[in-house]
Amino acid sequence: MMGVLLLAVLLVLAVDRLYGHSTLAFAAAIVMLVVANTPMLRFNCPACGKNAFLRGIFVVPWPNRTCTRCGRDLGEEPSGLR
Ligand SMILES: [Zn+2]
């Protein structure tokens, strides 16, 4: 995740130097970050569908052990992330 973020920043800086300020580079960087985050955003509670990385309105970089909405133990689920 940090490697992708670094790569995105370097991409923006490189394009910025070559072509000047470019919104296209920022768009590309954002797309890369979204793609990198897709597996994380797909990790939802199997019972109610709430994202395991959301705690109230906050997003945390690690998944909840139990669902904050329905209380289901997410650690029991075979998710590929553990
Ligand atoms: Zn739930």
E strand residue ranges, the chain? 54-55, 58-59
Q: How confident is the model at residue 80 (pLDDT cuts 50, 70, 90)?
A: low
The predicted model gives 28-46 an average pLDDT of 74
Ligand 1 center–CA 42 separation, angstroms: 14
Report pLDDT for 32: 77
Picking from 39, 68, 43, 38, the residue whose alpha carbon sits closest to that of residue 55 is 68
pTM for the model stands at 0.39
Ion ligand 1: residues, Cβ under 5 Å: 45, 47-48, 50, 67, 69-70, 72
Neighbours of 72 (CB within 10 A): 16
Q: Is the pLDDT of residue 55 over 60?
A: yes
Ligand 1 center–CA 62 separation, angstroms: 16
Position with higher pLDDT, 47 vs 37: 47
The predicted model gives 12-32 an average pLDDT of 74
Report pLDDT for 21: 65
Ligand 1 center–CA 71 separation, angstroms: 6
